[in-house]
């Protein structure tokens, strides 16, 4: 072992030297190549004699042009390759590799050592692989097998069988091999201990050196349209999501680019938290969005949409409001599979009856009344697509409006409007008419304007809002249609909630005020787009949804329609549903039906890596009916639960504890409050005594130091040490908040302290 270590240390040093030399050489080469490319571009035409006097001259010109273009293309391609190699070398310059397998391919008698790192490196001839990218097919053996028979898949679909003779793990710091381990069965117990025991960086980091077998299955999974990854808090779901994106970008590098992958994240701060991983692995970041942004764009100016965070504040802080039970029952219903089925049935029913239309009005007069529109709609074959039927009605209305406009020009109000135009208005009308005739500038004054033109223009302008409304299908009473869903008092197939009537009344009242609850946004838009056709985006090839337990079946159905060409990876943990009101289910059952069993695979990650074993054991007890949660064996302090009777002593204790943690060297400390309301209280008290950062829904950056953060913004991220500000039974007493308490406690990596003002939550007793 000792001599092995010396040999490997020697190899690392040689490799480091080689990498440094190559970097220096390539930096020179790429500068020269870039200058060459610029030079060729600049003097392109100087090098070509252009003449078309005779056929021979013409041919010579063509050949000259082709040669110059070829020279340019060759230089550009050499420059690009040199640039790529330089990038790879730079990624390897501190840690050239982290693992090695000794693999003997079946049918050969030679064992080849395969070194694995974050990029591929060949010798200068390009023939021998010095280091393999962790995503290369052969590297999968490193993650998937213990010594013994092993195999890996190659891109054409075949398998390479062989024997994995040995597996090593290396710890290399600043170009020196510090230690190496026989990685045997699982990769990384020792290395993992070290990695997980350290402090957290400002942002999430790649885990390629220590990916575990189950995680690797999820990262490299490549079958069907949908992959569901469920896993305990801290089991590496987000890490899997990020390494999986890197893997897909590598495997499909000829067909998929980073801007064709879209990650849905829970909030903007989360986006910044994960933004380092892909660049660290040499890839550009994928696109990121929140579901809320997609909804907001579609709801547009029609309603003022509540944000999901405002919705959560309501859930967490308005328990005493008399409307609370109805609103919560509504939230629960509107996010359920039952509601999804119910609206699907309603859409089918509207095909034969019950569509709500609006009168087309102009200057107080009804031009086409809603019954006429309904008659036209239902006069068409019910087998026709809904969108086509509505389009036919639109075209019919548009042609009717044209007729109305013509008649309207003769009306006295138009003549009056023409007569009352002052000079400025007349000139402005002249310019507009000139524009309609395609004239501009000086030509404007040449345009002859007669009364007929002016009448046409005046009617056109007055009717414009009506024309626009018809064009955007506002002749359908979308709000009425949505509200009408709540008028149905019984439905054969779906059980309606007992608060049904009150839910309907509350929904209507809110929409009438020009507001829309967040829970209504998706069903409302879904109803509309299911009838009009979904405005889809076909350029996205892969959609990744993190924190997927917080998405309703509607939202998934919507995503599927929105990105019809995309495969999906969905990662979540039902123990962490902050929307526990809305999600009773513990599985993504609708998702399976959406894509079909054939196209769906599920992987469960049971082992939890973030927190120490005592913290995992503690948090596990908060969710007794959960799927298995297995702690990674990492020692640490037992979590502390402490009750206080006064805020003053509680705050003094928080300040003392935080200061102590800072002295211990912790750089990421969170005081997690239940809501933003509570966060404000805490901050106003701590403000003078302790430096801290307040995290709000507007925070875009993941912050180091001491943060005060509401529960729902702490989703998905982690801190070295966590104080749960007030886990009293008053604050976390309701069953619906069990999962919230679990979520906040599981943010802690090394230390967890749960304070309570008054008697602690009974979940903590359990």
Beta carbon of residue 616, minimum distance to ligand ATP (angstroms, whole number) = 11
Beta carbon of residue 711, minimum distance to ligand ATP (angstroms, whole number) = 13
| Closer by beta carbon to ligand ATP, 241 or else 262 | 241
Question: Beta strands 287-289 and 261-264: pairing type?
Answer: parallel
What would the two tokens of residue 683 be? 């901050």
| Closer by beta carbon to ligand ATP, 131 or else 744 | 744
Q: How far apart are CA 672 and CA 678, in angstroms?
A: 9
Residue 232 annotated in ligand binding: yes
- List interacting residues with ligand ATP (CB under 6 A): 192, 195-196, 207, 210-212, 215, 231, 233-239, 573, 576, 609-610, 716, 718, 746
| Closer by beta carbon to ligand ATP, 344 or else 602 | 602
Strands, DSSP E only, in 92-217?
A: 99-105, 111-117, 121-122, 129-133, 148-153, 159-173, 176-182
| CA angle 3–100–25, rounded 5-degree value | 95
Q: Contact 280/205 with Cβ under 8 angstroms? A: yes
Identify the CA nearest to 747 among candidates 188, 293, 273: 273
Beta carbon of residue 307, minimum distance to ligand ATP (angstroms, whole number) = 21
Identify the CA nearest to 210 among candidates 189, 230, 232, 237: 189
Beta carbon of residue 125, minimum distance to ligand ATP (angstroms, whole number) = 35
| Closer by beta carbon to ligand ATP, 453 or else 550 | 550
Residue 606 annotated in ligand binding: no
| Closer by beta carbon to ligand ATP, 236 or else 639 | 236
> Which residue's Cβ has the minimum distance to ligand ATP?
236
Residue 233 annotated in ligand binding: yes
Beta carbon of residue 301, minimum distance to ligand ATP (angstroms, whole number) = 35
| Closer by beta carbon to ligand ATP, 235 or else 479 | 235
Identify the CA nearest to 558 among candidates 584, 578, 538, 530: 530
Give the rounded distance of the alpha carbon of 624 from its chain centre.
30
Beta carbon of residue 193, minimum distance to ligand ATP (angstroms, whole number) = 10
Beta carbon of residue 465, minimum distance to ligand ATP (angstroms, whole number) = 48
| Closer by beta carbon to ligand ATP, 347 or else 606 | 606
| Closer by beta carbon to ligand ATP, 30 or else 235 | 235
Report DSSP state, residue 476: B
Residues forming beta bridges with residue 670, ordered by sequence position: 707, 722
| CA angle 248–207–170, rounded 5-degree value | 120
Beta carbon of residue 266, minimum distance to ligand ATP (angstroms, whole number) = 9
Identify the CA nearest to 95 among candidates 187, 173, 210: 173
**Alpha helices (H) along 282-366:** 291-299, 308-317, 324-334, 337-350
Q: How far apart are CA 719 and CA 440, in angstroms?
A: 63
Q: How far apart are CA 655 and CA 685, in angstroms?
A: 11
DSSP string, 392-426: HHHHHHHHHHHHHHHHHTTSHHHHHHHHT--HHHH
Beta carbon of residue 526, minimum distance to ligand ATP (angstroms, whole number) = 27
Q: Contact 615/240 with Cβ under 8 angstroms? A: no
Residue 188 annotated in ligand binding: no
Residue 235 annotated in ligand binding: yes
Residue 236 annotated in ligand binding: yes
Residue at token pair 């927190």: 611
Chain length of the chain: 766
Q: How far apart are CA 721 and CA 727, in angstroms?
A: 16
Q: Contact 231/606 with Cβ under 8 angstroms? A: yes
| Closer by beta carbon to ligand ATP, 215 or else 601 | 215
Annotated binding site for ATP: 231-238
Annotated binding site: 231-238
């Amino acid at each position: 072992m000792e001599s092995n270590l010396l040999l490997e240390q020697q190899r690392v040093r040689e490799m480091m030297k080689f990498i440094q030399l190559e970097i220096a050489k390539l930096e020179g080469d790429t500068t020269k190549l870039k200058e060459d490319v610029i030079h060729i571009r600049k003097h392109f035409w100087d090098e070509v004699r252009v003449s078309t006097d005779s056929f021979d001259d013409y041919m010579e010109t063509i050949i000259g042009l082709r040669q110059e273009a070829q020279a340019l293309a060759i230089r550009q391609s050499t420059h690009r390759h040199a640039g790529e190699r330089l990038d790879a070398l730079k990624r390897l310059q501190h840690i050239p590799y982290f693992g090695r397998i000794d693999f003997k391919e079946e049918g050969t008698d030679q064992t080849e050592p395969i070194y694995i790192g974050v990029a591929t490196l060949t010798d200068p001839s390009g023939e021998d692989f010095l280091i393999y990218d962790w995503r290369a097919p052969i590297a999968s053996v490193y993650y998937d097998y213990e010594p013994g028979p092993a195999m890996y898949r190659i891109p054409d679909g075949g398998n390479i069988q062989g024997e994995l003779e040995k597996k090593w793990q290396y710890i290399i710091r600043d170009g020196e091999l510090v230690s190496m381990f026989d990685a045997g069965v699982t990769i990384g117990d020792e290395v993992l201990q070290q990695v997980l025991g350290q402090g957290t960086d400002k942002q999430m980091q790649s885990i390629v050196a220590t990916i575990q077998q189950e995680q690797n299955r999820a990262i490299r999974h490549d079958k069907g349209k949908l992959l569901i990854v469920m896993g305990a808090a801290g089991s590496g779901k987000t890490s899997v999501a990020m390494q999986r994106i890197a893997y897909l970008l590598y495997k499909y590098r000829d067909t998929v680019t980073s801007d064709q992958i879209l990650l849905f994240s829970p909030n903007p701060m989360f986006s910044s938290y994960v933004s380092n991983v892909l660049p660290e692995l040499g890839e550009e970041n994928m696109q990121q969005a929140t579901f809320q942004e997609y909804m907001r764009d579609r709801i547009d100016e029609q309603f003022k949409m509540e944000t999901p965070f405002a919705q959560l504040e309501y859930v967490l802080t308005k328990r005493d409001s008399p409307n609370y039970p109805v609103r919560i029952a509504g939230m629960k219903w509107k996010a359920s599979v039952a509601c999804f089925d119910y609206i699907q049935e309603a859409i089918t029913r509207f095909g034969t009856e019950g569509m709500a239309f609006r009168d087309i009005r102009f200057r107080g007069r009804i031009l086409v009344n809603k019954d006429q529109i309904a008659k036209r709609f239902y006069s068409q074959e019910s087998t026709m697509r809904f969108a086509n039927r509505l389009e036919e009605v639109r075209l019919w209305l548009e042609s009717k409006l044209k007729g109305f406009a013509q008649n309207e020009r003769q009306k006295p109000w138009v003549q009056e409007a023409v007569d009352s135009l002052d000079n400025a208005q007349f000139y402005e009308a002249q310019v507009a008419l000139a524009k309609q005739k395609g004239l501009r500038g000086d030509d404007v004054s040449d345009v002859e304007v007669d009364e007929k033109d002016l009448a046409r223009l005046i009617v056109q302008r007055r009717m414009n809002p009506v024309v626009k409304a018809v064009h955007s299908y506002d002749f359908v009473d979308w709000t009425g249609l949505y509200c009408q869903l709540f008028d149905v008092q019984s439905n054969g197939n779906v059980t309606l909630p007992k608060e049904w009537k009150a839910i309907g009344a509350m929904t209507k009242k809110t929409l009438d005020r020009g507001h829309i609850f967040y829970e209504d946004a998706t069903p409302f838009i879904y109803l509309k787009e299911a009838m009009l056709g979904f405005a889809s985006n076909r350029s996205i090839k892969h959609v990744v949804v993190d924190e997927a337990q917080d998405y309703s079946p509607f939202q998934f159905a919507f995503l599927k329609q929105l990105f019809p060409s995309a495969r999906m990876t969905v990662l979540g943990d039902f123990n962490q549903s902050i929307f526990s009101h809305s999600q009773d289910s513990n599985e993504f059952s609708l998702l399976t039906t959406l894509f079909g069993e054939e196209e769906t695979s599920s992987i469960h990650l049971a082992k939890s890596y973030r927190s120490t074993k005592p913290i995992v054991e503690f948090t596990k007890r908060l969710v007794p009916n959960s799927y298995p949660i297995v702690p990674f064996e990492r020692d640490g302090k037992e979590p502390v639960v402490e009750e206080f009777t006064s805020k003053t002593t509680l705050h003094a204790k928080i300040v003392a504890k935080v200061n102590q943690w800072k002295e211990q060297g912790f750089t990421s400390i969170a005081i997690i409050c239940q809501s933003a309301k509570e966060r404000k209280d805490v901050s106003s008290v701590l403000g003078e005594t302790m430096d801290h950062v307040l995290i709000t829904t507007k925070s875009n950056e993941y912050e180091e130091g001491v943060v005060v953060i509401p529960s729902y913004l702490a989703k998905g991220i982690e801190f070295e040490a966590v104080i749960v500000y007030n886990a009293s039974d008053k604050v976390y007493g309701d069953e619906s908040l069990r999962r919230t308490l679990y979520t906040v406690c599981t943010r802690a990596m090394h230390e967890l302290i749960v304070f309570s003002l008054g008697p602690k939550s009974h979940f903590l007793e359990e």
